[in-house]
């Protein structure tokens, strides 16, 4: 089951696309990987999900998660 809070950056013939997990269409398209990664992190942070940067070889190059950190406790 797809988690629509997760956001992926994937390479394409036109550049780099930002896509929510499970979506059939990209949320946005960018000329550079850096621009796409910035947008993906912003969307993932807003939805308290994870951002994944997938390289052209299909491997996950970077991953950021937002909103799932446990509260600190005094020890």
Domain around 36: 7-65
Secondary structure class of 65 (helix, strand, coil): strand
Structure tokens at 18: 């930002």
Number of domains in the chain: 1
pLDDT for 6-53, tens place per residue? 999 999 998 999 999 999 999 999 999 999 999 999 999 999 999 999
d(CA 60, CA 47): 20
Q: What backbone phi and psi angles, to 5 degrees, belong to 59?
A: -85, 150
Which neighbouring-strand residues pair with 30?
16
pLDDT for 47-68, tens place per residue? 999 999 999 999 999 999 998 6
Q: Residue 15 is inside which H or E element, if any?
A: strand 15-20
Determine, yes or no, domain membership for 75.
no
Model pTM score: 0.84
Determine, yes or no, domain membership for 39.
yes
């Amino acid at each position: 089951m797809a988690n629509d809070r997760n956001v992926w950056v994937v390479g394409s013939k036109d550049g780099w696309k930002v896509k929510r997990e499970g979506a059939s269409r990209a949320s946005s398209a960018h000329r550079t990987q850096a621009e796409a990664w910035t947008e993906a992190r912003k969307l993932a942070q807003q939805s308290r999900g994870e951002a994944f940067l997938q390289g052209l070889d299909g491997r996950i190059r970077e991953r950021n998660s937002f909103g799932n950190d446990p509260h600190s406790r005094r020890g």
